[in-house]
Chain A
């Protein structure tokens, strides 16, 4: 059985609480999980203001800034893609079939700022 673990947090305070995670810690956990063969993929995301939402209705694509999924919509799946830039990501997103009835939120993946290991 495969599971998707979704990370929810308050963006504003995520990195400033006493118990906030460090990027090094996140990388180490992901590495340890990968060693056990149980990590299939995962990534931190850029803040929500970098999002763009793609919808296709009657064959016409509409692009809006922000993560404005309707509140009655739920997360029903995900694609992790590698695109040259946002325009290519949008072109891929508009062809994801549920874009015709729901919305596809496109969020850039953030690089973890990992401290280089001294050798």
Chain B
């Protein structure tokens, strides 16, 4: 490999590690990013002449640190307080053993970018920028928001890290669970935006989902907690269905109608293995339970063979661990599959009456589907219309419109036509 090719590969594989360590050494995101660029520029100019150093990562960190001191010195001509800072970096103790601390630095970077003192949007943007090395433009286009909005979120997040002194540290044991929640939430949000985009005309965005999977794998390697494995399992088991989730026209296909031969068996096996480990640890949480539900679906060779009793049981545990109306809705749909649409509809109507799901299109869509199966055509139509009024996502709208059109010529029929599935 040519030296420039070598440096390019090094940038791809090592730049986030080098950045994470420089942020710790320099205590400032922007200074560390400039130092990172300076260090690679120095490599490009020096390595062809001097050869590739024995430990390129250590060389880059060291070069970045000295370049940052140079920058501070130059700026100190205008701001005397920086002179002191530059001196402090110069006098800092010998570089610690790099290989021992460098993985900790990546974990520090993740926890700092996902600190709960930052808004969820800021956490997502900062994590994708700093940990995943996505450009501001890439983040903006993935989330369909203007680039300056993303840039502003990142600038503000960095300012808050500095001004509120959000530490560059892995949380201590007592605070780890809560902080980890905040990290897992960011990763799952990125995954879901790739798998179920909240708006726009494409049904899935594989790029965001694959970033989330990479983040999940990285976090699990750095912090092998059961819930991290649970989240990775949930994402893998969901990702496994991607090819079957849309038809040739790009329209969404419901789980029951999917061609299960298209499911990715390697991802399913990896996911199932992780779920089992998480459940065995007895320290699992909501992500592991959702992954267990996805695993039950994955195990069924056909929709009819799905173990709905087990799924309802898992939802019961999940509702106790993480009470939420959306989970209650999913449970109601599972109950409908176990006990018949009448039983499911009673639960869905109870949730809609409680009010929290009134503006959630999937609740109206679930009601519509259960009414349709019960032959209550007029109510099904009303619910499909209510769902359409709430849904912003192109392909999902097409699906709902098709269902509504299919009901156009039907009249109310007896509820007895559909028997509960086993």
Q: Which residues of A contact B (CB under 8 A)?
A: 46-47, 49-52, 60-66, 84-87, 90-91, 106, 108
Given contacts A65-B116, A65-B119, contact A85 B160 (CB under 8 A): no
B118 interface residue (CB < 8 Å to A): yes
Per the bound structure, the CA–CA distance linking A60 and B117 in Å amounts to 16
> Are the C-beta atoms of A65 and B166 separated by less than 8 Å?
no
A65 touching B171 by the CB < 8 A rule?
A: no
Q: Would A46 and B169 count as touching, CB distance under 8 A?
A: no
List the A residue with the shortest CB-CB distance to B119.
A65
B140 shortest CB reach to chain A, Å? 21
Q: Are B156 and A86 in contact (CB under 8 A)?
A: no
* Interface residues in B146-201 (C-beta closer than 8 Å to A): 156, 159-160, 163-167, 169, 171-172, 174-175, 178, 182
Q: A63-B116, A86-B165, A87-B169 are in contact. Are A50 and B160 (CB under 8 A)?
A: yes
Given contacts A49-B160, A66-B119, 9 further A-B contacts (CB under 8 A): A52-B164, A63-B117, A84-B167, A85-B165, A85-B167, A87-B166, A87-B167, A106-B164, A108-B164
**Would you call A108 and B119 a contact (CB within 8 A)?**
no
Q: Is B122 an interface residue (CB 8 A)?
A: yes
- Chain A residues positioned under 8 Å from B115 (CB to CB): 86
- B119, A46: Cβ atoms under 8 Å? no
Contacting pair A86 B166 (CB below 8 A): yes
Interface range for B: 20 to 34
Q: Which residue of B lies closest to A108 (CB)?
A: B164
A50–B158 Cα gap in the complex (Å)? 11
Bound-state Cα–Cα, A91 to B169, Å: 15
Q: Which residues of A contact B118 (CB under 8 A)?
A: 65
- In whole Å, how far is A109's beta carbon from the nearest beta carbon of chain B? 10
- Bound-state CA distance A106–B172 (Å) is 20
Query: Once the chains are docked, how many angstroms separate the CA of A65 from the CA of B166?
Result: 12
Q: Is the CB of A108 within 8 A of B165?
A: yes
Complex Cα distance A50/B167, Å?
14
Q: Is the CB of B117 within 8 A of A86?
A: yes
**How far, in Å, is A93 (CB) from chain B's closest CB?**
11
A108 to B163, CA, bound (A): 7
Looking at the complex, which one of B159, B164, B174, B178 makes contact with A86 (CB distance below 8 Å)?
Answer: B164
Q: Which residues of B contact A49 (CB under 8 A)?
A: 156, 160
Cα distance A116–B119 in the bound complex, in angstroms: 37
Given A52-B117, A66-B119, A87-B171, A61:B178 Cβ within 8 A = yes
Q: Which 6 pairs across A and B sit closest by C-beta, in order of nearness?
A: A52-B117, A85-B167, A63-B116, A50-B164, A65-B119, A85-B165
Is A85's CB under 8 angstroms from B166's CB?
yes
On whether the beta carbons of A91 and B175 are closer than 8 Å, the reply is yes
Residue of A nearest to B115 (CB): A86
Q: Which residue of A lies closest to B182 (CB)?
A: A63
Q: Which residue of A lies closest to B167 (CB)?
A: A85
Some 28 contacts from A to B, beta carbons below 8 A apart, are A47-B163, A49-B160, A50-B160, A50-B163, A50-B164, A51-B164, A52-B116, A52-B117, A52-B164, A61-B178, A63-B116, A65-B116, A65-B119, A65-B122, A84-B167, A85-B165, A85-B167, A86-B115, A86-B165, A86-B166, A87-B166, A87-B171, A87-B175, A91-B174, A106-B164, A108-B163, A108-B164, A108-B165
CA distance A15 to B159 in the complex (A): 19
Distance (whole angstroms) from the CB of B175 to the closest CB of chain A: 7
Contact check, A86 vs B167: say whether CB atoms are below 8 A apart.
yes
> Chain A residue with minimal CB distance to B172?
A87
Residue of B nearest to A52 (CB): B117
Q: What CA separation (Å) do A63 and B166 show in the bound complex?
A: 13
Residues of B contacting A84 with CB < 8 Å? 167
Contact B178 A65 (CB under 8 A): no
